[in-house]
Every structure is written in C-alpha cells, then in structure tokens.
Amino acid sequence: MKNTIAERIYDFLKDFPPFNTLDNAQLMTICEQVKVGYYEVGDYIFKENESLHDAFYVVKDGAVGIFRGLDVLVDECDEGDIFGLRALIRQSNYRLSAKAIEECIVYAISSDLLDEFITSNIEANKFIMASFASNTLDRYSDKDRAGLYSSEGEFNKETGHLAFIQNVTYKKTPVTCPPNTQIGNAALTMTDKKVGSIIITDENRPIGIITDKDLRTKIATGKFAISDIVTSIMSSPVITIAEDISIAEAQITMLRNKITHLCITKNGTPHSELVGVLSEHDIVVAQSNNPSFLIKEVKRAETAEKLRDIRLKAQGLMKRYLDQHIPIGFVSKIVSAINEAITQKAISLSIDEMQGQPPVAFSWLSLGSQGRAEQLLLTDQDNALVYADVALEDEAKTKAYFLKLAQLVTIKLNIVGFEFCPAQMMASNPKWCLSLSEWKNQFNDWVTKPDEDKIMLCTIFFDYEKAYGDSALVEQMSESIFNSIDSYTIFLNFLALNAIKNPPPLSFFRQFLVESSGEHKDLFDIKARAMMPLVDSARLLVLSKNIKDHNNTIERFKKLAELEPQNGDVYNACIDSFKILLRFRTVEGLKQGDSGRFIDLKSLSKANRLKLKGCFGSIKDIQELIKVRFNLAQMM
C-alpha cells in the first residue's frame, strides 16, 4: 500500500540539496520517517540554550527566523532551507532560537538518518559543509549555479560565492592573562572586559583558552577551586589560524574541532604572536550582512524606507569587500543583484498601491550603468517602461496608468537613495513610458536619422536590462534595434565617431587632462574621460556583431575576445583597465560620499596615479581598432 504522505514529502525534497544527491531508495527511506510540524507565527521550533533535539529541520511552507537573544534576527529560512544542523553536529545545546515568522510547515528529519544517508554521502556532505561555511541561502539558483558548491562538488574560490572568500572581522585586542593567573582573577577580567573568553599566553604566544563554559562546568560544579591557576582548567593546545582566514575556512575549522573560539596568530601557528581572537558570535554577526540575507530582507520589505536601510547595508558590505581586495567583477555582480531586487520590490509595492493590476503586460527597464550591472554607488536613476500595444481608444487610459505607476516607483527609488535624473530620463517622463510600437518607432528614428542628440540617447537607451515584467516585450524591442541597424548600417559609423570623441586623457606632456573650469576645476573626470570610451567601444562592437544578450562592459569584451581571438589581447587589456577604473571610481565615491566621478589626483599616491595612467593605453588601442574597422578617417 502506497504511503501518499511520504510520496508528497519525496516530491518536495527531491528538488533541494542535499536531498537531490541521494538515490531514490535513500530519499524515500528518509521521507517515510519525516515528522511534519505545523507552527503559527511566534511558535518556537527550538529556543536558545534548549537541549538538543534528535532531528534537524527543513522548511516546507512559510518562513522560520533564526534569532540571537530575544529579537536579533540572524537569518531567515524559507522553502527548502535547512536549520538546526550545527547544534546536531556539535552535539550541544542550541546557541540560537528558531521561531516561525510566518505560518509554516516544517519537516523534522531524524539525526540517525543524517548519519546514515547524508553525512556518509560525499556530495551531500560537501553541500552541508559549504552551507555552514557560507550561509548562502540560494546556492543552487539559476543565476548562481557556479557558486560555492560547484557542479564538481568542490569549493571554487575563483567563481564561488563571496561568502566563501569574505574575510572575517575578528577582535584585534584579545583579552589575555599569564599562565600563573588565578581563575578568580581571570573571571573578573572577563567580566570587566565583557568577553566570553580569555587567552592564556606565554611570551605573547597562545597556549590555552578559558571560556564561560569552562567556568560553568569546571568551577561552578566544584571540580576546581576558584583559587586554582588558569592552566588547570584551560583548553590546550589552542586551535590557531592565520589573519587572512575567510568566513568559510573559520567556520569549517570550528565545526571540525567542535569549538567556538579560534586564536589568530601572525603565521597561523601556536608558535607565533597572538594578534586576535575569533568567536562563533563574530561569524554569526558577519553572516547577518551577507548578500543572500540582504536579498531576503528586500523580499520581505514593506516600505521604501526599509529598502533604503537594506541598500545602506549593501553599501557597507561593498566597502568591506573592496577593503579585502575582492575582485571588482564579483562585487559588481553582488551589488547589481541587490539593486535589481530593490527595484523589483519598489515596483511590486507600487503596483499594490495602484487601483487595479496593470491593464496589459509591461516591462521596467534599467538603463545606463544599472542596465549594464555597473552601478555600484548610489547615483541617479535612469529607467524606462514599455507596455504592450493596445487599441487606440485605450491608449490614453493605459498610458496614464503606467505613468502613475512609474511615478510611484521613481519616488520609492529616490527614497532608497537613487536620486531623480536631472535630465528626466525616467519612466515617469511621458517620453520614456511608451508602448512597444512607440519604442520601435523611436529606435528606428534614432538609427535611421542620427544626429548628435539621438546618438547620445542611443548610448543610454541601448544599455537596457529588464528589471521587472514581460521578457517578450524586451526581446521584441531588441530585435527592432538590430533590424533598424541592418537597414541603415552607416549608423554604426556615427556611433563609432561618438566612441572615439574622448581620446586617452593625457596631454602631450603625459599629464592628466583635468577639468579646466567650473565646479570641478582641476579634478579628473574618470567617468567621461576614461570609463565611457571603454563602455562606448564595447557597446558599438557588440552591436556590430548582432550580439543581443551582453550588456555588461566586461562581459561584452569577453565575448568579443572569444569571437575575435586575433584581437584578444586588446579586448583583455580593456577588461583589466575597466576593472581598475571601476574600482577607482567606487573607492573614491565611498571615500567622498558621492558618485566618485571627479577625482582629486593630488590625493592619489604615485603608484595609484601610475596605475590609472596604465589604463589609458587600452583606450588608445581600442579606439585605433575602431577607426580602422569603421573607416573613420574618411569621416573625420
């Protein structure tokens, strides 16, 4: 006789890791023994310091919050997420609480089944270790399949999730005492310093550690006297790690050794100088601001003000990544994903405020740097809206709906921190809130009757990316652009002239070309003079090759290098230069609290000025390639 409940559980679990690594018989055995729990909002699955359950948990429906203390939300678990595993592997009381934050159904899976089928399975076990290390909540999403747990089942620092390579922030002034210190005095020091551990050092080398747990289990129980010296109860030898350890490596080290504190030393061994201490609490705090957590916060946000708070957290996260010299390409992808999630939420909140759902299909388009996934800082908005064609008698009413919606969205994005575009290149402007046919006609006019203003509009509007809505509309828009270009190929020559209008920004004497007047006099415009020539060149070249699905400047050059290996050196040099320029602008923007566009060269070190100058060679090379390819000598 069939067990229909087990089959339903099987149908759910088979799509989620690590269960999708098990064979059918193993997974069905697990499903037949799953206990199903229903929890209303506020119900606890387990509480902090509660004795260990003999199961771990999987969220079927709803959401479970993981809390530290009474109200500090550390993580949010929803469909398919696992929780309660750390304590099970550590075999100790729960250090955090799990509470339903939405009405939910939770599957409880026996610890015996964990040992029998999951931790004994190589691929499943690797996934579990990876999930502990990174706290990546969606590591198998379509957009991030090459994440921490790769298809080969190994950690991949080059393409993996940033949580793996993010360095932890540890206490750089650890509380210490010498070996002959009485336990009572050590406890007083811990109390005064408000810390949960004290490191015993000999000539500034760590030889042992005492934690609150030692005081509870060894002193409060009477096993040792408070007048004994610390060496009698300390845990020794200590586990030491190097200063540059990542969150993943630190957490795996703790789990494997079943400890909650690590000593940081100069060279990672117990024989070198102690420079810090890292606790399990420090890792929990670090993970509460990881990208996955922030995107989950976005999805649950109910106001633009909450979205603003999340975007500010993302700004702090980005700064830490840059300080740790994490590749700018990774940083850009993370920030762009958060920006996109915020835009999507602003749109869905605005639709909820409207009287009725959208009358026809539509798409919200991010333009310019956001459309290219290169908007790391809080710059101004560039967006547009396309909606499906309607009958002539419905056009006015339909356009009015979408203009009102766009106004609500742009106001929310402004609250988040994305300023209104001074040139009004926003979907709330009737010029940029159009039906599909109107956009096709607009693009065709720009391509077939180009002038300076229309070329400028092309450089903004041809870098669009769907942020929300109907993909088919966007695909038809893109198709119309290439059809127009095919019918009037000389347009590419006009676009090429625009791409070379800003030559490498050095004077005859190899000095930086800076602004000669105005508000930014004597400052270097890194956007207009250095970044845009590369952006414009990449756009021109992919359009000339009918490449429709590459908007990002780095990805465009990568595709070009693939298609034209004979010019690969030039394209790869452009990639390196653009990464350097993007990092320069972002770091300067964070430092100055603005867009980072204008840089005071006097504030840069000589090494950084030389690095900046080194980027200009690739601008010269790509512009020379464009001059030859599009026969621009005849047009100049």
DSSP 393-417: GGHHHHHHHHHHHHHHHHHHHHHHT
Residue 537, both tokens = 């060149």
Residue 554: what pLDDT?
Answer: 94
Q: Give the residue from 74, 71, 91, 282 showing the smallest Cα distance to 197.
A: 282
**Preceding omega of 18 cis (within 30 degrees of 0):** yes
Q: Which residues of the chain have pLDDT under 50?
A: 130, 133-165
Question: What span, in angstroms and rounded, lies between the C-alpha atoms of 339 and 451?
Answer: 33
**Going by C-beta distance under 8 Å and a sequence separation of 6 or more, which residues neighbour residue 195?**
171, 175
d(C-alpha 383, C-alpha 247), whole Å: 37
Residue 340 to residue 231: CA distance in whole angstroms: 54
Residue 68: per-residue pLDDT: 84
d(CA 507, CA 509): 5
Would you state the pLDDT for residue 254? 81
Q: Contact 124/22 with Cβ under 8 angstroms?
A: yes
Tell me the C-alpha distance between 560 and 98, whole Å.
Answer: 50
pTM: 0.66
Place of tokens 């993370």: 334
Which residue, 378, 400, 406, 558, is CA-closest to 468?
A: 406
β partners of residue 109: 56
Helix (H) or strand (E) holding 610: helix 606-614
| Tokens 């005849």 sit on residue | 634
Nearest to 238 by CA among 277, 209, 276: 209
Q: Which residue spans within 260-328 are E strands per DSSP?
A: 261-265, 274-279
- Which DSSP category does 600 fall into? -
Using DSSP, state whether 419 is helix, strand or coil.
coil
Residue with structure tokens 């409880």?
108
What's the confidence (pLDDT) of residue 182?
A: 96
